[in-house]
Amino acid sequence: MKALLICIGLASITLTGYAQDGTTRSYQVNSSIPVPEGDSVKLVIDGTSAYYQKTVKVDTGIGVSLIYLRTLQFMAAKNFQQTYGYEQEGKEIFTTTQDLNTNPFTIGNYSDNIDPFTVQFAITVDMKKQRYRYTIHNVTFYRPTETGNLRMSLYEVYLRATNGDSRYIKKDSKKVLDAFERYIGSLTAELRESIDHKAMIYNTKF
């Protein structure tokens, strides 16, 4: 019985971790965050470029036109700005600026360490019948300091999180990456639900 409990504990630790192979950082969304099970985001490092990209399959019968329309509706509801859209090409590009924080458990208590930051990014959605690919790119972080905002690219934050000069810099940068990945993990999961029309608002059972 004791051996079984140890095995279960080790399996839980393994499942909640993330894998890193030097070129692709795979981050499984924290199970305590209310997003659909199994959704994940992957950071791709290509030279000095860093971006997130994933291909998603959708239900049979959902073509480019429906993916295009439902993506546009979802992004409009999120107040994302469309900078490009061409249905015949199967491509949409949106931009946004979001205010986030590194503490996912903040409940409004003044003693909580909110640690806010701002992030700007673009999301490109390429579409084909029964599937689409999202790419989250041009990511720029702004961290408040005593002398103003510190501007860093996604690649720079990644370098600080993996090769920082100190343990504090590594830990602090990883917190920023984790917070951003929680956000886009939730965002892309909601997008998938909206395209598939599987969210509760689209539930056909009455």
Residue 110 pLDDT: 53
Q: How far is CA 5 from CA 8, 10, 11, 12, 175, in A?
A: 5, 9, 10, 11, 30
pTM as predicted: 0.76
Place of tokens 């998938």: 192
Task: Tell me the mean pLDDT in the region 14-22.
Answer: 41
Residue 70 has pLDDT above 50, yes or no: yes
Residue 59 pLDDT: 87
Residue 60 pLDDT: 82
Tokens of 122: 């673009």
Q: How far is CA 180 from CA 40, 70, 116, 174, in A?
A: 12, 24, 11, 10
Residue 3 has pLDDT above 90, yes or no: no
The set of long-range contacts for 38-46, using a CB threshold of 8 Å and a minimum separation of 24, is 39/185, 39/188, 39/189, 39/192, 40/185, 41/136, 41/181, 41/184, 41/185, 41/188, 43/154, 43/158, 43/177, 43/181, 45/155, 45/158
Tokens of 26: 């795979």
% pLDDT > 90, the chain? 61
What is the pLDDT of the chain when averaged over all its residues? 81
Domains of the chain: 42-105+114-198 (3.30.530.80)
Strand partners, 94: 82, 123
Assess contact for 150 and 134: CB atoms under 8 A. no
Tokens of 142: 């702004």
Tokens of 123: 């999301």
Residue 183 has pLDDT above 70, yes or no: yes
